[in-house]
């Protein structure tokens, strides 16, 4: 079977390339406003068993939030941005608890200690 080679007007082979400028990757990151809300949420939840939170920029998921509760020495939860959603994972059982449209909704699923933003 003959192989077809595409040629331009000068008869030299050329490669067909995708127009990279037409593709806009959407990757959500943890912004300063998210960090502020996380701090407020953690402080408000101390009496409800929240212990600590860490934003882990070195994780494979990038900007991964780990959350400890008093009952556990290991992080109990992880919140990670994925596309336009926030994924909440039970780290102890490696089980996804849900995908949320905002960080405050994901944190509210763990402990509802602050009003949700609309």
- Please write the tens of the pLDDT for every residue from 72-96: 889 999 999 888 899 999 999 999 9
Place of tokens 């602050």: 114
Beta strands in 1-118 (DSSP E): 50-56, 64-69, 77-82, 85-90, 95-100
Work out the pLDDT band at 58, boundaries 50, 70, 90: low
Work out the pLDDT band at 25, boundaries 50, 70, 90: very low
Is the whole-model pTM more than 0.75?
A: no
- Asked whether residue 61 carries a pLDDT value surpassing 80, the answer given is no
- Asked whether residue 70 carries a pLDDT value surpassing 70, the answer given is yes
């Amino acid at each position: 079977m003959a192989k077809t080679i595409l040629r331009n007007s000068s008869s030299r082979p050329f490669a067909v390339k995708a127009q990279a400028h037409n593709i806009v990757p959407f990757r959500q990151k943890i912004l300063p406003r998210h960090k502020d809300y996380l701090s407020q949420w953690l402080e408000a939840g101390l009496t409800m068993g929240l212990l600590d939170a860490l934003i882990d920029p070195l994780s494979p998921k990038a900007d991964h939030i780990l959350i400890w509760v008093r009952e556990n020495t290991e992080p109990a939860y992880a919140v990670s941005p994925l596309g336009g959603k926030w994924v909440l994972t039970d780290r102890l059982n490696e089980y996804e608890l849900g995908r949320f449209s905002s960080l405050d909704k994901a944190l509210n699923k763990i402990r509802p200690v602050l009003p949700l933003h609309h």
